[in-house]
Amino acid sequence: MQMLNRCHGAQRCASRQSQYAHVASSVNSSHRALRLQRSAAPSSSRRASVQAAAATLHPGPDKDYDVYVAEKQPLPAGEEKHVISVFVADEAGLINRVAGVFARRGSNIDSLAVGLNNDRALFTIVVNGTTQTVSNLVKQLGKLVKVRYVEDITKSKRVERELMLIKLRAPAGPARTEVLQLAEIFRARVVDVSERGITLCVSGDPGKTVAMQNVMTKFGVMEVCRTGRISLKRGEALLEQVKTPTERPAHRERKTDSLPVPVSLESREADVYMVEKDDLSGPWEVTNVLAAPQQYENDRGEAQGGEFQAHTLQILVADVPGVLQQVTQVFARRGYNVQSLAVGPSETPGDSRITMVVPGTRQSVDKVIKQVKKLVYVKDVEDITAVPYVARELMLIKVRCTASQRGELRDLVQIFRLGVIDVAHTTMTLEVQGREDKMSAIADLLEPYGVLEIARTGRIALTRESGVDTKYLETMRSSTRIF
């Protein structure tokens, strides 16, 4: 009897093992067939599956993603955004050397703004990193020739502003009415209108500009051009500390006794191009676009230099470390002195738009553009000098102001439509938005009060959807006669 039970138990175990083997073989065959099916599936079906999976991450009728969901990621532990101010003397290739310090150490510049003021420029650079990493970057920047002053002002009380031009797809109708209502809420200005779109200009802190861009996304963002942020310390504190603010000279007359001044710094005849003006004509004859309006040769505010002129370039690049240094290196190797540079995020996540102003002939600039297009991370380059475009710049200017002078400055603020962003016992910080000639005119009017500091973003520009501006109309023949 026991032998019979053992035989039945052995048979049952054998049957179970055969069933398990059959199930395992069927599972393996199904997995094998599934792998073959996936490998044979076309790339379009894969993209569709990725799109469907991305759409399920954030369900809702208001979400409309293209393929991938781009969500902002927090910074790694120990890292933060640092704001670095760098005073430099004007020299060809200096922007490339400054960007090279960050590129060689694998630091990605979040935003950069630089504008030339007479013989010096103020860089405002935003970079991500730890305190020790940024401290090493500041030390390396201070070692560069003609760098007069470097400071990390992240922990300082400061005012920050940036400028944004945004082109929206808003035809006449309810959509445009809603856009104008939102523009009034954000205190944005309309700078161009066409049948199918509208271009707005807004200034403020980075949170305001990003919030406005997110709100306007539902109408269809065609193009976005943003500057990097510019910063000045609040109150009577200055970037370059001195013993008494009352003894401090104006920003354009500041001396640097603590740092040695190179011999070539006193004479700008051969600072950028090693030739004399009387011997040969060239791009050095082009008046800087950020210079005073009295130096222009016509009433349109154009930099004149014969066949040489200032060209406005727009470069769309990928957000990778070192891409700015690669772009500026192309111009530095050919002796081009960049008059203005503004770098900021574009309308596409993961891309940035660089706006540059460089002097030269059309043929020479076209050759440089071809070289820039060969760079790996450069997606598009466009010279918009010959087409109608809208250009704007942002400037922060700190002046001396006593209690009795505030009424006079308030009148200038209303005339030029300025913004007062900070007031102290002896100083006042103003925000200026407009074209370069307006900036220079305001700086000249404020010179008697004592200009302490100036921070400028450089020019940003977008092509006009209307296709018309003053420079374009002056090149066209009038269709009517006036007798």
Domains of the chain, earliest start first: 392-463 (3.30.70.1150)
Report DSSP letters for 401-460, one per residue.
--GGGHHHHHHHHHHHT-EEEEE-SSEEEEEEEE-HHHHHHHHHHHGGG-EEEEEE---E
- pLDDT at position 275, please? 37
Q: Please report, as a single letter, which amino acid is at residue 34.
A: L
Position with higher pLDDT, 250 vs 409: 409
Strands (E), 59-155: 80-89, 109-117, 120-129, 147-152
* Range among 69-78, 88-97, 258-267, 364-373 rated most confident: 364-373
Closest among 332, 293, 328, 336 to 311, alpha carbons compared: 336
Q: What are phi and psi of 269, to 5 degrees?
A: -65, -40
Q: Identify the pLDDT of residue 260.
A: 40
Determine contact, residues 137/105, Cβ cutoff 8 Å.
yes
Which residues are paired to 111 by β-bridges?
Answer: 126
**Residue 215 dihedral angles phi and psi, to the nearest 5°:** -70, -35
Instruction: With a cut of 50, say whether residue 277 has pLDDT above it.
Output: no
- Residue pair 279/358 in contact (Cβ under 8 Å)? The answer is no
pLDDT higher than 50, residue 222: yes
Max alpha carbon distance in the chain (Å)?
132
Rounded to the nearest angstrom, the gap between the alpha carbon of residue 454 and the centroid of all alpha carbons in its chain is 18
Range of 14-18, 262-266, 300-304 with top mean pLDDT:
14-18
Beta bridge partners of 449: none
Phi and psi at 292, nearest 5°, equal -70, 150
78: pLDDT confidence band, cut at 50, 70 and 90? confident
Between 155 and 6, residue with greater pLDDT:
155
Asked whether the beta carbons of 160 and 128 are under 8 A apart, the reply is: no
Contact at 8 Å (CB) between 269 and 189?
A: no
Mean pLDDT for the stretch of residues 440-455: 89
Alpha carbon of 146 to those of 157, 329, 338, 357: distances in Å?
27, 18, 16, 21
For residues 421-439, give the mean pLDDT. Answer: 91
**How confident is the model at residue 392, as a pLDDT?**
93
The residue behind tokens 């300082």 is 156
The residue-averaged pLDDT of 361-380 equals 92
Contact (CB, 8 A) for 357 and 310: yes
Cβ burial of 419 (10 Å; 0-12, 13-18, 19+) is middle
Return the structure tokens found at 1: 């009897």
For residue 228, is pLDDT > 50? yes
Q: To 10 degrees, what angle do helices 323-333 and 362-373 make?
A: 140
Which pLDDT does position 12 carry in this prediction? 58
Q: Per mean pLDDT, which of 16-30, 84-98, 107-121, 189-203 is the most reliable? A: 189-203
Q: In the β-sheet with 309-318, what is the strand arrangement from edge to edge?
A: 147-152, 80-89, 120-129, 109-117, 340-345, 351-360, 309-318, 378-383
Residue 304 has pLDDT above 70, yes or no: no
Rounded Cα gap, residues 286 and 270, in angstroms: 15
Q: Phi, psi at residue 377, to the nearest 5°?
A: -95, 10
Residue 97, token pair as written in the block: 């050397």
| pLDDT at residue 2 greater than cutoff 60 | no
**Rounded CA gap, 322 and 108, in Å?**
7
pLDDT value of residue 108 = 80
pLDDT (average), residues 181-198: 93
451 vs 89, 171, 245, 381, CA distance in Å? 18, 44, 12, 37
- Please report, rounded to a whole number, the percentage of residues in the chain having pLDDT higher than 90: 33
Among the ranges given (258-262, 335-339, 410-414, 420-424), the one the predictor scored with the smallest mean pLDDT:
258-262
Q: Distance between CA atoms of 359 and 288, rounded to whole angstroms?
A: 9
Distances in Å between the Cα of 192 and the Cα atoms of 166, 189, 271 are 10, 9, 39
Supply 34's token pair. 């599934």
User: What is the pLDDT at residue 24?
Assistant: 53
- Give the confidence band of 390 by pLDDT, cuts at 50, 70, 90: very high
Q: What is the mean pLDDT of residues 8-31?
A: 55
Residue 378 in this model has a pLDDT that exceeds 90: yes
Rounded-to-integer distance, Cα 338 and Cα 331, Å? 8
What is the DSSP code (8-state) at residue 277? Answer: T
Residue 60 class from Cβ within 10 Å (0-12 exposed, 13-18 middle, 19+ buried)? exposed
